[in-house]
Amino acid sequence: MTTSFLKHFRYDSYCNPVRDWLALLVFSVIVLAGIIVWNVWAFDTVANGGVIGAAATSTTPIFDQSSLDTIHTIFANRAAEEAKYETGAYSFADPSQ
């Protein structure tokens, strides 16, 4: 009985499109079911606060105060230059006139 059943799945000299499409459909359904199960598991894990993969190690961020002061000074200088343009401290000669 099993030999006659397996004979339908053997590829001989004749073409059996029903067998080929059935095999393709079964394989596709199995892959789709696996993808759905994986995505449901991943969503449930993340929704409940879990982590997929290795948990990240948390380290205390290190800030260099001198770099932050330099950036603050740059923005303060830019603001001062902008104020000079807006208040009229800089005058421009229009070359088109």
The secondary structure of 13-75 as a DSSP string is SS--HHHHHHHHHHHHHHHHHHHHHHHHHHHHHHHTT--SSSPPPP------HHHHHHHHHHH
| Residue ranges per structural domain of the chain | 17-49
pLDDT at 41 > cutoff 90: yes
pLDDT at 54 > cutoff 60: yes
> If you average pLDDT over every residue of the chain, what do you get?
85
pTM exceeds 0.75: no
Give the per-residue pLDDT at 5: 64
Cα distance between residue 71 and residue 66, in whole Å: 9
HSE, CB side, 13 Å, CA atoms: give it for residue 11.
Answer: 3
